[in-house]
């Protein structure tokens, strides 16, 4: 078998990176490891994330992630994924145009799971055996994840190429014949029995970001620290944030940090912020989590993995898509509590009780957490062997 580290003729790999934070973060370490093994990697990446590849020796094809003009036309009640559907549509167009003009004979193509490569290849006409899908979480689910509303942002690209791009979220949970790199462990996967012999579990990437000196938070050593975040996409749940404020207003027990996402105007939406609350549009999560006692998270896979690694007690409040599956697995593995908004009314009292219960059961949950983290560690041991097999 050929070795990528052979300097005479390294394998050429084209990577279409993810266009959302969690998806891009999942791909960074994969790209880094491939270059360290000697592969010749070219990344097609948005300008929002391009700098995060600066320390990796890859060729970068950078395109704009700006869809602000579209955003202005969306009604205020548009769902969180509305703007992202246009971003995925634009990214699909840019990746296709790049590959149609690029005469490089790539040995392999790695695509984030949001790219509908089966439809794209009707135009690209590349050897599908060279295609690899990078999954940041699950590839199977018990939930129906399809939503035709997300197709609106793909419409222009579909019409331009005369193809039929499918709901990009639904793609993640659809069985396919492509090689799949899944950034979790088989132990953590919801329905590993439904995967195939082209599925490789590689463990997650727990990102260690550089310290943000501009983050001015100071921990009160006399109180437990509660961190609340619904992530970068689904964070615009103002009612939930106000329920959290009501639950812990002026608490003598908890100091609270709340990250409400970049789409929420803090000054406009929060007129009376209690002294024990600090509200931000963005929090450097991996920097804060080591000090956190209880973490209320939207159950995004990356946030949940970072929470598990930090040792914080978890309360998962899934908002959409695979987050319900992540919460289900955490509960199944006895590593935290889950509040399903589709099953219960999440009131201030429910939130307060869940936080207290999670803290009181933290030692019990730590046992479940350690089993998950051990499975991640074991899965990550196989990464190099998987790369050599998949990119032979």
CATH number at residue 305: 3.40.50.2000
In a shared domain, residues 162 and 23 = yes
Please check whether residue 40 lies inside any domain of the structure. Answer: yes
Please check whether residue 330 lies inside any domain of the structure. Answer: yes
* pLDDT tens, position by position, 327-359: 999 999 999 999 999 899 999 999 999 999 999
Residue that wins the pLDDT comparison between 84 and 48: 48
Three-class secondary structure of residue 232 per DSSP: coil
In a shared domain, residues 17 and 158 = yes
In a shared domain, residues 280 and 352 = yes
In a shared domain, residues 252 and 157 = no
Position 387 scores a pLDDT of: 97
Position 144 scores a pLDDT of: 64
In a shared domain, residues 263 and 343 = yes
Residue that wins the pLDDT comparison between 119 and 23: 119
pTM: 0.82
Cβ–Cβ under 8 Å, residues 295 and 227: yes
Final residue belonging to a domain, choices 154, 182, 210: 182
In a shared domain, residues 344 and 277 = yes
Rounded distance between C-alpha atoms, residue 13 and residue 230, angstroms: 34
Full 3-state SS string of 62-79: EECCCCHHHHHHCCCCCC
Position 141 scores a pLDDT of: 61
Full 3-state SS string of 260-320: CCCCCCHHHHCCCCCCCEEEECCCCHHHHHHHCCEEEECCCHHHHHHHHHHCCEEEECCCC
Final residue belonging to a domain, choices 131, 155, 182: 182
In a shared domain, residues 111 and 229 = no
Of all residues in the chain, what percent carry a pLDDT higher than 70? Answer: 92
Please check whether residue 324 lies inside any domain of the structure. Answer: yes
Residue 321 confidence (pLDDT) above 70: yes
In a shared domain, residues 119 and 234 = no
Please check whether residue 192 lies inside any domain of the structure. Answer: no
Position 313 scores a pLDDT of: 97
Please check whether residue 275 lies inside any domain of the structure. Answer: yes
Please check whether residue 211 lies inside any domain of the structure. Answer: no
* pLDDT tens, position by position, 285-309: 889 999 999 999 999 888 998 999 9
Position 381 scores a pLDDT of: 93
Q: What is the rounded average pLDDT for all residues in the chain?
A: 89
* pLDDT tens, position by position, 97-110: 999 999 999 999 99
Q: Report residue 309 CA to chain centroid gap.
A: 16
Mean pLDDT value across residues 39-67: 95
Rounded to 10 deg, the angle between the 323-332 and 301-310 helix axes is 30
In degrees, rounded to 5, the angle at the alpha carbon of residue 261 between the alpha carbons of residues 29 and 72 is 105
In a shared domain, residues 44 and 169 = yes
Residue 218: pLDDT band by 50, 70, 90 thresholds? confident
Mean pLDDT value across residues 214-234: 87
Cβ–Cβ under 8 Å, residues 127 and 151: no
Domain that holds residue 342: 224-375
Residue 119 confidence (pLDDT) above 90: yes
- 10 Å Cβ neighbour count for 163? 19
Q: How many domains does the chain have?
A: 2
Rounded distance between C-alpha atoms, residue 385 and residue 203, angstroms: 13
Rounded distance between C-alpha atoms, residue 337 and residue 316, angstroms: 6
DSSP letter, residue 202: -
In a shared domain, residues 232 and 371 = yes
Give alpha helix (H) positions in the chain: 21-36, 68-73, 81-101, 117-124, 155-161, 168-172, 238-248, 266-269, 285-288, 301-310, 323-332, 348-360, 362-381, 383-390
DSSP 136-165: SS-S--SS----GGGGGGGHHHHHHHT--P
Cβ–Cβ under 8 Å, residues 195 and 189: yes
In a shared domain, residues 173 and 232 = no
Cβ–Cβ under 8 Å, residues 44 and 129: no
Position 2 scores a pLDDT of: 46
Please check whether residue 217 lies inside any domain of the structure. Answer: no
In a shared domain, residues 34 and 162 = yes
Please check whether residue 147 lies inside any domain of the structure. Answer: yes
């Amino acid at each position: 078998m050929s070795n990528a580290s052979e300097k005479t003729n390294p394998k050429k790999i084209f990577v279409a990176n993810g266009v959302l934070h969690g998806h891009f973060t999942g791909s960074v370490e994969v790209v880094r490891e491939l270059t360290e093994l000697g592969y010749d990697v070219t990344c097609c990446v948005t300008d929002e994330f391009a700098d995060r590849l600066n320390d990796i020796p890859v060729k970068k094809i950078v395109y704009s992630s700006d869809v602000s003009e579209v955003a202005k036309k969306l009604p205020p009640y548009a769902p969180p994924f509305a703007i992202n559907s246009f971003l995925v549509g634009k990214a699909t167009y840019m990746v296709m145009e790049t590959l149609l003009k690029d005469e490089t004979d790539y040995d392999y193509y790695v695509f984030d799971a949001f790219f509908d490569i089966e439809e794209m290849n009707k135009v690209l006409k590349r050897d599908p055996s060279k295609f690899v899908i990078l999954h940041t979480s699950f590839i199977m689910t018990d939930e129906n994840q399809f939503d035709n509303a997300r197709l609106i942002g793909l419409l222009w690209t579909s019409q331009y190429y005369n193809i039929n791009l499918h709901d990009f979220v639904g793609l993640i949970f659809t069985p396919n014949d492509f090689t799949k790199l899944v950034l979790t462990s088989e132990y953590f996967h919801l329905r590993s029995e439904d995967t195939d012999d082209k599925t490789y579990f590689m463990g997650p990437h727990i990102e260690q970001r550089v310290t943000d000196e501009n983050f001015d938070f100071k921990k009160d050593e006399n109180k437990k620290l509660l961190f609340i975040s619904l992530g970068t996409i689904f964070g615009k749940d103002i009612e939930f944030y106000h329920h959290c404020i009501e639950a812990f207003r002026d608490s003598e027990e908890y100091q609270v940090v709340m990250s409400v996402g970049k789409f929420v105007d803090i000054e406009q939406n929060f007129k009376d912020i209690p002294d024990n609350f600090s509200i931000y549009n963005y929090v450097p999560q991996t920097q804060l989590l080591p000090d956190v006692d209880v973490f209320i998270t939207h159950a995004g896979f990356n946030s949940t993995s970072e929470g598990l690694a930090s040792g914080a007690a978890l309360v998962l409040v899934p908002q959409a898509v695979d987050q319900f599956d992540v919460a289900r697995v955490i509960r199944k593995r006895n590593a935290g509590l889950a509040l399903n908004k589709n099953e219960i009314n999440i009131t201030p009292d429910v939130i307060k009780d869940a936080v207290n219960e999670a803290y009181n059961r933290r030692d019990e949950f730590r046992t479940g957490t350690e089993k998950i983290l051990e499975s991640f560690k074991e899965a990550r041991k196989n990464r190099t062997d998987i790369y050599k097999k998949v990119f032979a």
